[in-house]
Amino acid sequence: MTDPRPLHRLSAFELAPQLAAGSLTSVKLVQHLLERIEKYNPKLKAVLALLPDALEQAAALDEERSSGRVRGPLHGLPILIKDNVDVDKMPTTAGSKALEHSVPFGDAFLVARLKAAGLVILGKTNLSEFAHFIALNSRNGLSAKGGQTLNPYGEKLDVGGSSSGSGAGVAAGFAPLSIGTETSGSILSPSSQNALVGVKTTLGLVSRRGILPIAHSQDVAGPMTRTVRDAALLLSAIAAPDPADEVTLGQPAGLDFLEHLHPNALEGVRLGVPRLTFWNKLSPNQVQLMEWTLERLKSLGATLVDPADFEDAEHLESMSFDVLVYEFKYDLERYLSTLPDGGPRTLRDLLDLYAQNPAWVGDDGFTLLLAAQGTRGDLSELAYHYTRARDLERAKGGLDALLETHKLDALVIPAHWAATVGAKAGYPSVCLPLGFADGAPFGFTFTGRAFSEPKLLGYAYALEQNLNLTLEPDLEALMGGTGK
């Protein structure tokens, strides 16, 4: 029986059987989504650019299917890619007009993986300019190239950043799947604020080759979807060792991101609740939703260690941008050196373009770029090595100690409040929507040890199945200017 819901509300897992049965084609699905993007994106500004051959990609994949070749469970499904990830023959702008003609030589490693799995690359999404590494006070979802991305649940709501378009695009039904990137909160934040499942991956699980960088010690890419199963399917497609990204060569073999997706995955699991520094950010309504969720976890068989606080809790959220400032110039210039001639080759080149075009950034300025330019660019400064070691001691050391002391399988944290800790440690998190608090979507994060994504996805799946939420934004209200 065909699902009566419109195509844009179905998950990838729900669309796949229709494609397999022949009741739906990839061309029909892509055409439906393109029409939806044409109607709503001028207001939402989630999609920065569409691939001109999306329908041709879909037709070729339909032809493969009809001839008996199916590449995998995601064959023929469309996906949106954050525009700091290289896609062949498309500019990688990071939302910057300074890079609007910066066309890489080919696909990022993860994009090549997506194509090999049979996905249709539908378009590239808007983001906070330079993935939020342009100025400390820059706005979530704003770029000179793409404008201001809106939250589909209300234009006055924060859309989150920096993977703003990837979050808003899936929430709005522009695609069932998207890729975001995170250096510190940039997948988890827009996932929580757009009622999505987001996976901030372990550093070394997904190749960074072909991603415009901020900092190699923290940069990761991961799925942003509406369901946990979709996130697991997408992660299965992109997680792989890449000989050109050495950190990925240390990942465990045989990771199965689907194996723990069952309703009793929380039975016997020990979860820590670090309340210090994280709970005090919550409004009364958010506290109520969190406490209700903790009771749900217990009802599903989890043992809560509550509280299970970090020994150095007061300093965790005060960890600085210093490591990012030092690594940005070094990493960015290595990336720029791989591009065809004609565009910026150095951070100094970029700064000159911004100085010549002050309207690109307005009052926000480009203070973080200036700070990065003040470094040597070779990571030789003692201050860099000291700060990186201190960050690892506080974040990785703090997480390891907390998990080991209380024999915990994972931590449970409101929204994305502990994103900095997981980011600096290089550890994974899975964000899951809980519903609404104070009129806005609100999420919940499981954080665990390195490469524990299969188990974290299982915990999230068990809770998701129990909550059984149906969340959908009212885009007609948004278009009419009556959104919250």
Catalytic site positions: 82, 162, 186
Residue 341: burial class (beta carbons within 10 Å; 0-12, 13-18, 19+): exposed
Distance, in Å, from the CA atom of 345 to the CA atom of 236, rounded to the nearest integer, reads: 34
C-alpha atoms less than 13 angstroms from C-alpha of 31 in its C-beta half-sphere: 7
DSSP string, 171-236: HTTS-SEEEEEESSSTTHHHHHHTT-EEEEPPTTTS--TTB--S-TTT-EEEEEESSHHHHHHHHH
Distance, in Å, from the CA atom of 379 to the CA atom of 227, rounded to the nearest integer, reads: 40
Burial 365-374 (b: 16+ CB within 10 A, else e): bbebbbbbbe
List all residues 6 or more positions away from 216 whose beta carbon is below 8 Å from its beta carbon.
208, 247, 327, 331
- Measuring CA to CA, which residue among 89, 159, 83, 77 is closest to residue 119? 77
Q: Are strands 78-82 and 142-143 parallel, antiparallel or unpaired?
A: unpaired
Residue 477: burial class (beta carbons within 10 Å; 0-12, 13-18, 19+): middle
- Measuring CA to CA, which residue among 234, 227, 183 is closest to residue 81? 234
- Measuring CA to CA, which residue among 377, 278, 283, 400 is closest to residue 330? 377
List all residues 6 or more positions away from 315 whose beta carbon is below 8 Å from its beta carbon.
394
Distance, in Å, from the CA atom of 41 to the CA atom of 446, rounded to the nearest integer, reads: 32
Residues 274/402, Cβ–Cβ less than 8 Å: yes
Q: Are strands 177-182 and 78-82 parallel, antiparallel or unpaired?
A: parallel
Distance, in Å, from the CA atom of 18 to the CA atom of 77, rounded to the nearest integer, reads: 11
Residue 456, both tokens: 């974290």
**H or E element that contains 308:** none
How many angstroms separate the Cα of 100 from the Cα of each of 3, 84, 94, 357? 41, 11, 9, 14
- Measuring CA to CA, which residue among 431, 9, 36, 33 is closest to residue 195? 431
